[in-house]
A and B are shown apart, each in its own frame.
Chain A
Amino acid sequence: MGKIFKFNKDVDTDQIIASQYLLFPTIDEMKAHTFESLNSDFASLVKPGDFVVADENFGCGSSREQAPSVLKALGVKAVIAKSFARIFYRNSINIGMPVIVSKELYDSVSEGDEMELDLKQGIITVGEKTFQCTKLPAKMQEILDQGGLIASLNN
């Protein structure tokens, strides 16, 4: 079980992690600034196993991989959105962070709700309600299963 943090549509990667932190030496030094402009308490409130739930076009804008990386470093288990911008989606899978498309979830849950995710089956449970999510394309699932794209280079 993890807690839901909700975000609106068209959340761009500048909001996830702003430019002024991107040249910090490590992701660990950046992560305290995650979502600073939208929810300045996010980094201190989020716990490993929590979820980000968003409306359409999550992660649009810059190709900065720091965006999914800070979410992963804070322990976010998955991002579930109505849709994702292309580069953020690909970057997330590449670093081994699940990104899941659900058209229903965002409108059916509230900030702070507890949620459970069965990644293999693509089923989300919030209270009494269950949601079937869109499955990852086979190529993406394969990358995720092996723990990200770099893992394949080390095999």
Chain B
Amino acid sequence: MGMTMAEKIIAAAAGVESTRAGDIETVTLDRLMSNDGTTHLTIDMYNNLKNPHIEDVSKLVWIIDHNIPADSPKTAASHKKMRNFAKEHGIKFYEGEGVCHQIMMENHVRPGELIFGADSHTCAYGALGAFGTGVGCTDYLYAMVTGTSWLLVPETIRFNLKGKLREGVYARDLILTIIGRISANGANYKAMEFVGEGMAGLSMADRISICNLCVEAGAKTALMEVDDVAMAYLKEHGREPKHIFKSDEDAVFSQVYDIDLSEINPIVAKPHFVDNIVDASECQDVKIDEAFLGSCNNGRIEDLRVGASVIKGKHVADGVRFLVVPASRAVYNQALKEGILDTFMEAGAMVMNPNCSVCWGACQGVIGEGETLISTGTRNFKGRAGHKDSFVYLASAATVTASAITGKITTADKVI
């Protein structure tokens, strides 16, 4: 019996020939990412250990991206603790360079790696054929000290993609549709694997967007095969694969879905659950107070280009705030070069520094009581973007930008 991609990566990391869903393996991690959401607590726990020790400092990547620039003295103190510790121990450290997952994709992730990230959206790394999974700070600390951890080998749900997304429909509409179909815990404990001829039409930005959101269905990780598109991305960023795995033909999948990309429509996830999806056309009377284009899910140059093409020559609606937040410094600089930031600024948007911004809901662009946000962020949970009695709708970059122009939820075809 063959193995899935997830089983193969875990077997390699465990140094065993084969493993099966349901087995528990002790694995050696390839990389350990942590951000300012929890690292200050990890450091406190580290300092309380009887024998503090970092097994392999070269595997650690620490990134300040959630509350940057700091919004309060308390945040500044937590950042200082993280900055000083990273410096003292020689940990690779980024601050203000962008959202952690975008930084990891641009600079670190290699196919075949097993990566722990102290952030749930670490599953994004599957876009490069790496097994990324989110952990809390205790798991992180254990892995930092020992270089290892234990993993329950997940079952895999396979998604066979065929066809092409229609014009005006994006990868984000696709993954929201899938989450709506399988529900917020439809992939709990499982890996989600995407294959099929439909993959060829999906850019790296699309693929990251798809894998990144799989945790919203409860997935442990998301995985895609490494093809020419992935190899070109790696080459462009100066890296080589560690190992390229794909599922065997006789591997066992817990479920298999066939998805025709041409049948996907522009989608909105309504408050307060990511799986609460409807066709965007059903929400067009919903008035918005703020729109957000950014995040690890949808803040790449491709997404900014989509937004800019929708808003060029038009203006943000009266009374609406439109925040545009490139996912990294590289994305920001590219957008600057292409004149995209000018387009947004001329249209009345606010272009912010690369960071998690509104998606994190604690630092930048927080919304008030009774207010409504349309967002390319990762989540629409109650209070996610600010006041507990506020409302977040999730949609594609195109729908978010079109909504910023009209002041109510609008698909891009209505404004172009």
Residue numbers of A with Cβ under 8 A of B are: 10, 12, 14-15, 18-20, 22-27, 36-38, 56-57, 60-66, 68-69, 83, 85-87, 90-91, 94-95, 137, 139, 148-150, 152-154
Interface residues on B, range: 35 or more
Pick the contact of B50 from A27, A149, A154 — CB < 8 Å? Answer: A154
How far apart sit A13 and B114, CA to CA, in the bound complex (Å)?
25
Is B206 an interface residue when CB atoms closer than 8 A count as contact?
A: no
Residues of chain A lying within 8 A (CB to CB) of residue B142: 94, 149-150, 152-153
How far apart sit A95 and B140, CA to CA, in the bound complex (Å)?
12
Tell whether, in the assembled complex, residue B188 and residue A19 are in contact, meaning their CB atoms are under 8 Å apart.
no
Tell whether, in the assembled complex, residue A91 and residue B138 are in contact, meaning their CB atoms are under 8 Å apart.
yes
How far apart sit A69 and B45, CA to CA, in the bound complex (Å)?
13
Identify which of B35-43, B84-92, B331-339 touches chain A: B35-43
B-side binding surface: helix, strand, loop or mixed?
loop
Tell whether, in the assembled complex, residue A19 and residue B360 are in contact, meaning their CB atoms are under 8 Å apart.
yes
Tell whether, in the assembled complex, residue B383 and residue A63 are in contact, meaning their CB atoms are under 8 Å apart.
no
Tell whether, in the assembled complex, residue A57 and residue B38 are in contact, meaning their CB atoms are under 8 Å apart.
no
Is B16 an interface residue when CB atoms closer than 8 A count as contact?
A: no
Is B384 an interface residue when CB atoms closer than 8 A count as contact?
A: yes
Tell whether, in the assembled complex, residue B41 and residue A57 are in contact, meaning their CB atoms are under 8 Å apart.
no
Tell whether, in the assembled complex, residue B120 and residue A66 are in contact, meaning their CB atoms are under 8 Å apart.
no
Identify which of B129-137, B169-177, B277-285, B292-300 touches chain A: B129-137
For residues 215 through 269 of chain B, which have their beta carbon under 8 Å from a beta carbon of chain A? 216, 218, 220
Residues of chain B lying within 8 A (CB to CB) of residue A23: 36-37, 40, 66-67, 74-75, 78, 362
For residues 100 through 153 of chain B, which have their beta carbon under 8 Å from a beta carbon of chain A? 118-120, 122, 134-139, 141-142, 145-146, 150, 152
Tell whether, in the assembled complex, residue A153 and residue B49 are in contact, meaning their CB atoms are under 8 Å apart.
yes
Q: A14-B381, A91-B136, A91-B138 are in contact. Are A64 and B218 (CB under 8 A)?
A: no
Residues of chain A lying within 8 A (CB to CB) of residue B189: 86
Tell whether, in the assembled complex, residue B382 and residue A60 are in contact, meaning their CB atoms are under 8 Å apart.
no
Residues of chain A lying within 8 A (CB to CB) of residue B388: 18, 36-37
Residues of chain B lying within 8 A (CB to CB) of residue A62: 37, 119-120, 379
For residues 14 through 61 of chain B, which have their beta carbon under 8 Å from a beta carbon of chain A? 24, 36-38, 40-41, 44-45, 49-51
A139 nearest CB neighbor, chain B only: B24
Tell whether, in the assembled complex, residue B136 and residue A64 are in contact, meaning their CB atoms are under 8 Å apart.
yes
Give 5 pairs: A residue, B residue, CB < 8 Å, sorted on A: A20-B361, A20-B362, A64-B136, A95-B136, A149-B142
Pick the contact of A153 from B40, B74, B135, B145 — CB < 8 Å? Answer: B145
Pick the contact of A63 from B67, B136, B185, B382 — CB < 8 Å? Answer: B136
How far apart sit A94 and B41, CA to CA, in the bound complex (Å)?
14
Residue numbers of B with Cβ under 8 A of A are: 24, 36-38, 40-41, 44-45, 49-51, 66-67, 74-75, 77-78, 118-120, 122, 134-139, 141-142, 145-146, 150, 152, 184-185, 188-189, 216, 218, 220, 273, 360-362, 366, 379, 381-384, 388
Residues of chain A lying within 8 A (CB to CB) of residue B119: 62-63
How far apart sit A62 and B136, CA to CA, in the bound complex (Å)?
9
How far apart sit A83 and B67, CA to CA, in the bound complex (Å)?
32
How far apart sit A64 and B44, CA to CA, in the bound complex (Å)?
15
B387 nearest CB neighbor, chain A only: A37
Tell whether, in the assembled complex, residue A139 and residue B273 are in contact, meaning their CB atoms are under 8 Å apart.
no
Tell whether, in the assembled complex, residue B138 and residue A19 are in contact, meaning their CB atoms are under 8 Å apart.
no
Tell whether, in the assembled complex, residue A150 and residue B362 are in contact, meaning their CB atoms are under 8 Å apart.
no
How distant is A109 from chain B, measured CB to nearest CB, in Å? Answer: 22
Residues of chain B lying within 8 A (CB to CB) of residue A66: 38, 41
Residues of chain A lying within 8 A (CB to CB) of residue B134: 63, 87
Given contacts A22-B37, A63-B118, A153-B142, could you give 18 more A-B pairs where the C-beta distance is less than 8 Å?
Answer: A18-B362, A23-B67, A23-B74, A23-B78, A25-B77, A37-B382, A37-B388, A61-B379, A62-B37, A63-B38, A65-B137, A65-B138, A83-B185, A87-B120, A139-B150, A153-B145, A154-B49, A154-B51
How far apart sit A60 and B384, CA to CA, in the bound complex (Å)?
13
Tell whether, in the assembled complex, residue B135 and residue A63 are in contact, meaning their CB atoms are under 8 Å apart.
yes
Pick the contact of B138 from A10, A26, A37, A148 — CB < 8 Å? Answer: A148
Residues of chain B lying within 8 A (CB to CB) of residue A154: 49-51
How distant is A21 from chain B, measured CB to nearest CB, in Å? Answer: 8
Q: Nearest 4 A-B pairs (CB), nearest first?
A: A65-B136, A37-B388, A91-B136, A19-B362
Pick the contact of A14 from B135, B136, B150, B384 — CB < 8 Å? Answer: B384
Q: A27-B41, A64-B37, A153-B145 are in contact. Are A85 and B75 (CB under 8 A)?
A: no
Tell whether, in the assembled complex, residue A86 and residue B188 are in contact, meaning their CB atoms are under 8 Å apart.
yes
Pick the contact of B383 from A15, A22, A26, A90 — CB < 8 Å? Answer: A15
Residues of chain B lying within 8 A (CB to CB) of residue A24: 74
How far apart sit A85 and B134, CA to CA, in the bound complex (Å)?
12
Pick the contact of B382 from A14, A83, A152 — CB < 8 Å? Answer: A14
